[in-house]
A and B are shown apart, each in its own frame.
Chain A
Amino acid sequence: MSLPRVLRLERDLLARLEKALPLEAPGGVETAALAFGRVAEAHGRRVFVVDGVAEVPTGAYETQEVARLRPNDRQLLALSSRLRGRGTFALLAHTHPLGPDRHSYADDDYEQKVATIFAGAANGAGLVSLLRHPTGWTAREVVDGRFEPIDVVWVVGRPLRRLEVAASEPDPSHAANRDIWARQTLALGPRAPVDLRHLRVGLVGAGGLGLPLADGLIRHGAGSVVNVDFDTVSRSNLSRLPPALESDVGVLKVEVVERLRGVHRSVELVTVARRVEDDEAQRALETCDVLIAATDNHTSRLVAWKVARRARSLFLSAGTDPRLGPKGIVHRVSAYVADLLPTDGCPGCNAFLDAEQMRRESLPRETLENEVRDGYIPGVEQPAMLSWNLIAVGETLSRFLELVVGFGPAPERGQVRRFELLAAPDARYFAHAVRPSAPGCACSFDVGTDLRDVMVKPGSAMPSEP
């Protein structure tokens, strides 16, 4: 059985492709465009992350053009110079304006040829093709001259949208479980179970927020959940981890999450007992279409956001924010959820990251102990309550459903939503729109390091050695 393959591209990149690939071309002439990106692969899933769309190489895409194609084709070589070996790929998108919803034999020849060029010129870079036709899209990967179908194409935006691709085999276990979601389907509509079934959700944290979130995601029907947490259950966790028992003290939290496999058989649950900074954890999270940060650590939230941005995933952050008054009593507490697209500013730009808290989290033990001794850092833990967490979990699951199946008001803009628990009942709910990267913030520098800004320009000279 082949690996499930997923292609992920942002909405504005899809719009550029659609503009380059008109179906209403006069005379039904095929058109083509090139894009490029990176491959993430872990735990039996292969994900193609589109980083940028190159300029359209030709207006026509006909067999005689194919016959003239040479390995020194300027566009192909220019693009291959941007690709750096295994782990990268070129995307060849083209149309069948009047044709069938599958690749033709001529496509097979052409794509095998182009794949060979990229593999040679770009040191093993792969090739993915995306075919636009009157009834939808079809996508596939060329693997050693063979063709492997792409199972899902996600368009990353608000809401997250699944492009219809060539029909894959229905999942018998999922069909057998249809009754589980019968009442939920009455609310979300018939398409929702299918979209959710295709979705892989990454969850950073398996504590007071992460564990009930994992439970909720599985019960809502998410096809696949990847949970990352390195920590073990402590006695003080027992008041906030609903399924954990006293006998679980000392056990890895992800082992408690593992029990959720028993909710229904069609869920794929991957647990990684690592910190989110760890490469193994990041490889697993990069394959996720949605990433939710649910830790009490601000640095790990920021790292999770960076992984989501790199993987072009939708990012949600959930948490509670208790504030202590001068006498050490909680005088304000809020539960919040925020959603960010890869093109939005970072959690810092959107004011749900505490810069001073992150500094403390990074301190070496010696310095931390000195600062606590000096009274500059409080030596007590933050308060935490199950009821606060459950409000954040409920808000997060609601926002998740808005964003992935379009349930609720059309979420065109990202939001940071806050629920002030100790405010008067009519002043408890706040929301503000997410902001772009602030110039000067570290996140605004990261954009320049990916391939988004290195589009192939028409007429540009070949890259030359300095």
Chain B
Amino acid sequence: MSSNTAVQQQQGQGLKGLVEALSQILPNSPDTLVFVDGIPKVHPGDTATAASVLALVQSVSPATHRVYLENACDPEHSCELGDTPKIIKHGYRFQTVPRDGNLGRGEAIPPVISRDVRELEAAGFKVTVMQSGANFVIVIESVMFPAGLGGKSMAIMLLLPATFNQAAIDNFYIPIETNGASAVFHQRANTIETHGGKTWRRVSWHRSTPWRGAEETLLGYVEWCREGLRRIA
């Protein structure tokens, strides 16, 4: 199976630690395959078998796990992926399920986060998702920073509770090398933390409006971050 983007993870019974596993298998290059369980990010035109998908998951084999291919455009027509190579098309989803497991458990990325990631991608951002303890680390690239903060396209990071959007998010993170445009900004961004194996500068900004779970999206939050960055420029 060839590939085209970054790394993802899959959790569930016996599948924990996949982020680390995939990080070892797949170097973090632009040509690396991004594979999210349930949300495929394989390149259309690639081929896949159950074994090739599961090969991405160390110590997991077709003997212990199944792979289901779901056609998002036609959910009624989903099937189990077997030994016959399938050509990947737009809209396909993969799900790996332990052969002895119950359905419903072992879901890797919550559907609401997957939806919001797709929405961010549709808005032109390149997004990488990693699980880190009880949180997801969402790295959003191609965010234009104001002139006072370098004036170039950089990444921001959101630390997302796994229970988003029922749980709120707060703050955001910027690359550590970013210098503050003003003393006020610098005061708000002088804490350095490590998340997802990388060091970030935490920007301690807090919204004044209460969290309205059902109405909140990642794109909306990113827009709020960008608006704030624009204001300090």
Please give the residue numbers on chain A whose beta carbons come within 8 Å of chain B beta carbons, in ascending order. 38-40, 81, 84-88, 123, 279, 282, 286, 299, 302, 310, 346-349, 353, 355-356, 358-359, 361-364, 366-367, 370, 374, 376, 438-446, 448-451, 454, 457, 460, 463-466
In the assembled complex, the CB of B78 is this many whole angstroms from the nearest CB of chain A, namely 7
Q: Is the CB of A353 within 8 A of B159?
A: no
Q: Is the CB of B202 within 8 A of A367?
A: yes
Within the complex, which residue of A286, A349, A465 is in contact with B214, where a contact is CB–CB below 8 Å? A349
**Of residues 135 to 156 in B, which have CB atoms within 8 Å of A's CB atoms?**
135
In the assembled complex, the CB of A312 is this many whole angstroms from the nearest CB of chain B, namely 11
Assess A445 versus B133: contact at CB under 8 Å? Given A87-B102, A359-B168: no
Give A226 to B96 CA distance when docked, in angstroms.
30
Residues of B close to A86: CB separation below 8 A: 99-100
User: Is B164's CB within 8 Å of the partner chain A?
Assistant: yes
Assess A460 versus B112: contact at CB under 8 Å? Given A442-B166, A442-B213: no
Residues of A close to B80: CB separation below 8 A: 84
Known: A353-B166, A363-B159. 12 other contacts (CB 8 A): A39-B102, A349-B214, A358-B166, A359-B167, A441-B213, A448-B111, A450-B103, A454-B76, A464-B77, A465-B86, A466-B79, A466-B92
In the assembled complex, 5 residue pairs joining A and B whose CB atoms fall closer than 8 Å, in A order, are: A359-B170, A364-B133, A364-B135, A376-B204, A445-B110
In the assembled complex, the CB of B25 is this many whole angstroms from the nearest CB of chain A, namely 25
Within the complex, which residue of A367, A440, A443, A446 is in contact with B159, where a contact is CB–CB below 8 Å? A367
Residues of A close to B92: CB separation below 8 A: 466
Q: Is the CB of B167 within 8 A of A449?
A: no
User: Is B30's CB within 8 Å of the partner chain A?
Assistant: no
- Which of B164, B169, B170, B213 has the largest number of chain A CB atoms within 10 A? B213
In the assembled complex, the CB of B200 is this many whole angstroms from the nearest CB of chain A, namely 10
User: Is B115's CB within 8 Å of the partner chain A?
Assistant: yes
Residues of A close to B202: CB separation below 8 A: 367, 370
Please give the residue numbers on chain B whose beta carbons come within 8 Å of chain A beta carbons, in ascending order. 13, 66, 68-69, 71, 74-80, 86, 89, 92, 97, 99-105, 107, 110-112, 115, 132-135, 159, 161-170, 191, 193-195, 202, 204, 206, 211, 213-217
Give A229 to B76 CA distance when docked, in angstroms.
41
Q: Is the CB of B76 within 8 A of A460?
A: yes
Within the complex, which residue of B133, B163, B165, B193 is in contact with A299, where a contact is CB–CB below 8 Å? B163
Within the complex, which residue of B74, B133, B168, B193 is in contact with A355, where a contact is CB–CB below 8 Å? B168
Assess A85 versus B166: contact at CB under 8 Å? Given A370-B191, A449-B107, A466-B92: no
Q: Is the CB of B79 within 8 A of A445?
A: no
Give A102 to B79 CA distance when docked, in angstroms.
38
Q: Is the CB of A302 within 8 A of B77?
A: no
Q: Is the CB of B213 within 8 A of A348?
A: yes
Q: Is the CB of A38 within 8 A of B166?
A: no
Residues of B close to A302: CB separation below 8 A: 163, 166-167
Residues of B close to A38: CB separation below 8 A: 102-104
Within the complex, which residue of A85, A299, A449, A451 is in contact with B66, where a contact is CB–CB below 8 Å? A85
- Which of A81, A355, A363, A449 has the largest number of chain B CB atoms within 10 A? A355
In the assembled complex, the CB of A82 is this many whole angstroms from the nearest CB of chain B, namely 9
A-B contact count (CB 8 A): 147
Q: Is the CB of B214 within 8 A of A438?
A: yes
In the assembled complex, the CB of B64 is this many whole angstroms from the nearest CB of chain A, namely 12
Residues of A close to B162: CB separation below 8 A: 362
Q: Is the CB of B214 within 8 A of A440?
A: yes
Q: Is the CB of B161 within 8 A of A84?
A: no
Give A86 to B74 CA distance when docked, in angstroms.
26
Give A235 to B225 CA distance when docked, in angstroms.
44
Residues of A close to B132: CB separation below 8 A: 364
Residues of B close to A451: CB separation below 8 A: 103
Q: Is the CB of B111 within 8 A of A376?
A: no
Residues of A close to B166: CB separation below 8 A: 302, 346-348, 353, 355, 358, 441-443
Give A362 to B110 CA distance when docked, in angstroms.
15
- Which of A87, A88, A376, A442 has the largest number of chain B CB atoms within 10 A? A442
Q: Is the CB of B111 within 8 A of A449?
A: yes
Q: Is the CB of B214 within 8 A of A362?
A: no
Give A313 to B191 CA distance when docked, in angstroms.
45
In the assembled complex, the CB of A153 is this many whole angstroms from the nearest CB of chain B, namely 20
- Which of B77, B79, B135 has the largest number of chain A CB atoms within 10 A? B77
Chain A residue with Cβ nearest B110: A442
Residues of B close to A355: CB separation below 8 A: 166-168, 211, 213
Assess A441 versus B214: contact at CB under 8 Å? Given A87-B100, A366-B194, A466-B79: yes
Residues of B close to A40: CB separation below 8 A: 102
Chain B residue with Cβ nearest A40: B102
Residues of B close to A448: CB separation below 8 A: 111
Chain B residue with Cβ nearest A366: B193
Chain A residue with Cβ nearest B165: A442
Q: Nearest 6 A-B pairs (CB), nearest first?
A: A358-B167, A438-B214, A445-B111, A362-B161, A441-B214, A348-B166
Residues of A close to B100: CB separation below 8 A: 85-87
Q: Is the CB of A446 within 8 A of B68?
A: no
In the assembled complex, the CB of B97 is this many whole angstroms from the nearest CB of chain A, namely 6
Residues of A close to B194: CB separation below 8 A: 366
Residues of B close to A361: CB separation below 8 A: 134, 161, 167
Within the complex, which residue of A81, A87, A366, A442 is in contact with B163, where a contact is CB–CB below 8 Å? A442
Residues of B close to A347: CB separation below 8 A: 166
In the assembled complex, the CB of B32 is this many whole angstroms from the nearest CB of chain A, namely 25
Residues of A close to B74: CB separation below 8 A: 466
Residues of A close to B217: CB separation below 8 A: 440
Residues of B close to A444: CB separation below 8 A: 214
Residues of B close to A376: CB separation below 8 A: 204, 206
